[in-house]
Amino acid sequence: MIRDKRFLLIILTILSFLPVWSQSYSAQQIELAERLHTLAKNAPPELAYIQTSKDIYETGEDLWFKVYLLDAQYLIPSKLSRTLYLQLLNENTRKAVWQEKYEIQNGFANGRVYLESNLPEGDYFLAAYTANSFFDDTTEFKAVRRIKIKTYIISRTESFVMPVPVKVNSIQFTTFPEGGDLISGIRSKLAFKSVNSNGEPVNISGTLFEDNTPLLKFKSTHAGMGSFIFTPQTDKKYSIRLSEPATDSTFLLPEIIPAGMTMQLVGRDKESLSFKVSQSHGVSQEEIYLRVQCRGFVYGMTEAKLNRKLMIEVPLFGLPQGIAEITLFNSSLVPVAERLVYINQDRKLNISTELSKEIYPTRGKVTLQISVRDEDGWPVLANLGVTVFDKLFQNPRDSNNILAHFYLSTQLKGRIYNPSYYFNGNKKDRDEALDLLMLTQGWRKYVWNEMNLKKFEESNQQIIFDEIKGEIDYPNMKRKKLKEHLFVMVFSPNKDSTKVVIPADSTGKFNVPADRLKEWENDYVYIKPFGPYESQRPKKTWDPLAPPEFNFHIKLNDPFETINRLSKYKQFTYPLTDLINEKEDTTDLYTEESGIIRIKEVTIKGQKAKTIRGKYLGSLDSIEMAKADD
């Protein structure tokens, strides 16, 4: 066994975010890195996450929110966008019931949405758009937060409809070879995923057949996912039959390639990843290249001579937390295998909280001490969002959180089932489960993959903007004649307000920059057109009582019209949730002794003291609910 010691790490500098290239890097390695970096520039540069004050709301109250805008590659606060466009959409009709603009400061925005008392009950999406995260394409849209709106929330028994059991013929069973292909004669790992027609996981058991002879048995280990290892042969026929749930369907394996090379993850620890690269018998020695990238930035590169088998160790020092793509290239720089691995999950902020006391009186002051430290235990500055609400307003089936959103949901195409599971330290199997997710849902669906990045090339032009855009319209002016000497005056009715004159271009178009709007914060802004003297005179009319009508008109672009038009072609993607809550089996916690009879089930009925949760009494809204006369 040969171990390649020449893996060179590209060190990331925090200030410039540029790789420090070593003189030992070959022209081929530099080409592979620059090729990815060029394509990564086409991707949307911002990602948005919405945090709300609670999950379930009553009509007639305020919905408080905070939006986090991060750089898509480095997941640090973005300073690109200045204006946040926010909509509240009915999930079924996708029609906006409320929309507004908010200022973004250093990557963060916050505010409130008033929920009208006549809003129908149901599920809604709170959607966030910025100039650098919303583009004219048909990709999935994930900057949304699902909320439930009810007329009243009171402690009472409500009807619950259990999901219909999965029909056997609705199961979708898919296999995913590690690295991309099954190569004849090379021992390989084959991952699989089983879901129903709604995309929800189905746990299965089955058998792999070789020429109609049982070869091995397997079963899923997490959320309908699992894997097994075997050595495929081109002269054999392979099929899979499921025994649980029982079905008559037979599932075929992907095409087996007669000759080629594969890459397998064979070992990992906190310091490194170990990969085994294998080559078919009879294939001549070949120069290969291995590239490690995370979110469109190349962190490492190596090259070696492949002669049958090769072990390559990838150090993880200097790499961020998240999904890393390891790609194997042949001598022609064509990708032949790739593997996604989630790395450095322990590199995170550790947040601890402590209340000043255990019991508080109603409407008493609550003091919460918050401590934030990095993975090495050092205190750090952090921009935090804290929500405090009655547990009655929590939706236990909403598995979305800020970690799952930025590290998983926005990095992989499609909807992820219960993504917060993979960041729950109490789940002992989360590492194995997360690797299965990389093998299945991550297969060819990493948004930073070269093939996926190429799809952004024709759709990376901004369609909504931070500034106000408009046009001076002069109906009597000939189309071919240039609109010269046209201006707009922008001002606030406040007597101390600054009046700003902005020239329009030759087509009559003008922009009011976002920093100018900041000067008139919390006030109305007026825009008045100016031009040649004759064009400013009011039009003559036969009616002496009619108000004057000027030749100039201003047309302002409405970003929400653009958003509504393009949203029709986008798929709003939100994580799948667990329909059935997990229950811990406690039957083995008790030891049966003589004279003790185990009862199958006991139902205890009781009555709890009523808690006042009046919609108006418990409201903390800034809108005045009622006013009493003396």
| CATH C-level class of 3-40+259-343 | mainly beta
| CATH C-level class of 168-257 | mainly beta
Cα(595)–Cα(618) distance, integer angstroms: 52
Residue ranges for the chain with pLDDT beneath 50: 1-23, 156-157, 160, 162, 166, 479-480, 533-534, 580-591, 608-612, 617-630
**What pTM was computed for the model?**
0.84
> Do residues 206 and 242 lie in contact, with contact meaning Cβ atoms separated by under 8 Å?
yes
The pairing of beta strand 62-71 with beta strand 46-52: antiparallel
Note the pLDDT of residue 245. Answer: 92
Considering only CA atoms, give the Rg of the chain. Answer: 30
Note the pLDDT of residue 174. Answer: 96
Note the pLDDT of residue 604. Answer: 55
Note the pLDDT of residue 587. Answer: 42
Is there a shared CATH topology between the 3-40+259-343 domain and the 168-257 domain? yes
Return the exposure string of 25-49: e unless at least 16 CB atoms fall within 10 Å of the residue's CB, then b.
beebbeebbeebbebbebbbbbbbb
Cα(321)–Cα(380) distance, integer angstroms: 17
- What are the extents of the domains in the chain? 3-40+259-343, 168-257, 468-557
Note the pLDDT of residue 551. Answer: 67
Half-sphere CA count of 90, side-chain side, radius 13 A: 9
Query: Using alpha carbons only, what angle is made at residue 9 by residues 8 and 11, rounded to the nearest 5 degrees?
Result: 145
- Given the structure tokens 């937060």, which residue do they identify? 145
Note the pLDDT of residue 525. Answer: 87
